[in-house]
Every structure is written in structure tokens, then in C-alpha cells.
Amino acid sequence: MPAKDSLAARPMAFLSDVHGNLRALNAVLEDLERREISAIFVAGDLLFGGDEPLEVWKRLREVDARCVRGLSDTALFMVDPNTLSPGNDEERSMADRFISTRKLLGDLVVERIRRMPERLRIPMVDGSEIVMVHGSPSDPSREITHDMEDREIAALIDDDPADIVVCGGSHVPFRRELEGVFVVNVGSVGAAPEGRTAHYTILTPHLDRTDITQEWTEY
């Protein structure tokens, strides 16, 4: 999956944090099909956490989704399951799920995940640029959350040249403008805190602006 896209001139859907939840992903994709939106971008944490990681991977491939890596995606190829030493029941459950996810995906898919970029830049028809990253432009592993102060978010944007920062990680959708830069956290498809709700965001390019609409659907 290349890290640079062609000039964007049609509505685009941005998702994040599917976490192996196929039912939630399908609910969002059905919404997008009704809206006739086929350009789909996913800001990481694709597979780990749910019961159908391989099916989620295949579904994202079917719709030609452009994806970046999140923390759990990186862990799938960075962490050796043999080194896990859980200390309590919760940690044992997480370790068992991690091992199961690795087995279900297989080495080929894990290698493809390793090759995914951490950032994706999308040039827009109005001359602006989107950067999509799981966490933040300054550090893909550090998420931008709705309860941060402007100065904290500005530090995580750092000197990135993008006009729109699309991110995930926190599972809580929000948008904020800081000195002409729009920060859009697209929430979570598969692990929203309110439960059985899948978030997504639509960006619609125009010659003089980009409209941003944050949506959700039940599943």
C-alpha cells in the first residue's frame, strides 16, 4: 500500500480502530455503499481484539481500503508470542487472544501488515493536504484525545505541513481547529465506548475547502 495518493476530488470515508469486529465494519460499509462512497481509508488498529481478524482483513481488501498501522497492528509482527508472560487472568486472556489472532492471520498477512505505512498523505484538489496517522504526526504511537488542551495537541502536530490531521486511537471522535489546521479523530468502528456503535467520518473535497462530517451507525 503506497504512502502517497493521487489528487483527491471525491468524498472519502475515514475509519479507525476496527479491532477485528466484522459486524461493525460491515455496518459502516453498508452505510458508505448507500452514500455511494467508495474511497475508504483506515487509521490503524485493524485486527486485534475481535473474533474475526482474518475476515476483517479480507473485507478491507475487498473494498480496496487504504490503511496505516496502529499500535496493535505493529505488535502483531513485533511481539514474539513465545515471550509473553502474563501475570493475571486479564493478561492471560489478552495473551491467548494475541496468539489466536496471529494464528488466524498467518505469516503472509502479518508480513503485509508489517509493510503498511505509519502515515498516509493525501493531496486535495484545493491545494491542501491530509495526513492520516493512528496516533499523531509527531509520534504515531501517541494518540490525540478529545480532552487535551490546544497546546498539547499542537505539540503532537509539531511542524507537520498537513492542513487536516486524521487520526484514531482514542476511540472517541472529535474535531478541532488549531491555527488553520483541522484535527479530526474519527473514533472507533469496532470498540466505541458507548457500545454497538460504529464511528466514521466523511471528508468531501471542494475547489475552495473540504467539508468534514462525523457520522455513526448502530450494529
Report the pLDDT value the prediction gives residue 127, as an integer from 0 to 100: 92
Task: Write out the three cell numbers for 146.
Answer: 478529545
- Dist. CA 67–CA 15, nearest whole Å: 9
Q: What are phi and psi of 63, to 5 degrees?
A: -95, 10
Domain ranges of the chain: 12-218
Residue 153 in 3-state DSSP? helix
Which ranges of 52-149 would DSSP assign to H, the alpha helix?
53-62, 71-78, 89-114
Q: Hey, how many other C-beta atoms are within 10 angstroms of the C-beta on 72?
A: 21
- Reported CATH class of domain 12-218: alpha beta
The pLDDT of residue 200 is 98
Cell, residue 194 = 458507548
pLDDT at residue number 7? 62
DSSP state of 124: B
How much is the pLDDT for 83? 87
39-42/66-67 β-pairing: parallel
pTM above 0.75, yes or no: yes
Alpha carbons 90 and 139: distance in angstroms, whole number: 28
Give the bridge partners for 210, in sequence order.
205
Using only C-alpha atoms, the chain has a radius of gyration, in whole angstroms, of: 17
pLDDT number for residue 67 = 98
Ordered per-residue pLDDT tens for the chain, 219 residues? 334 455 677 999 999 999 999 999 999 999 999 999 999 999 999 999 999 999 999 999 999 999 999 999 999 999 998 888 888 989 899 999 999 999 999 999 999 999 999 999 999 999 999 999 999 999 999 999 999 999 999 999 999 999 999 999 999 999 999 999 999 999 999 999 999 999 999 999 999 999 999 999 999
Q: Ramachandran region of residue 100, left (φ > 0), alpha (ψ -120 to 50) or beta? A: alpha
Q: Which helix (H) or strand (E) holds 178?
A: strand 174-178
- Joined together, the cell numbers standing for residue 107 give 505469516
Answer whether 26's CB lies under 8 Å from 58's CB. no
Name which of 30, 78, 25, 13 is nearest 50 in CA terms: 25
Rounded to whole angstroms, the Cα distance separating 190 from 18 reads 4
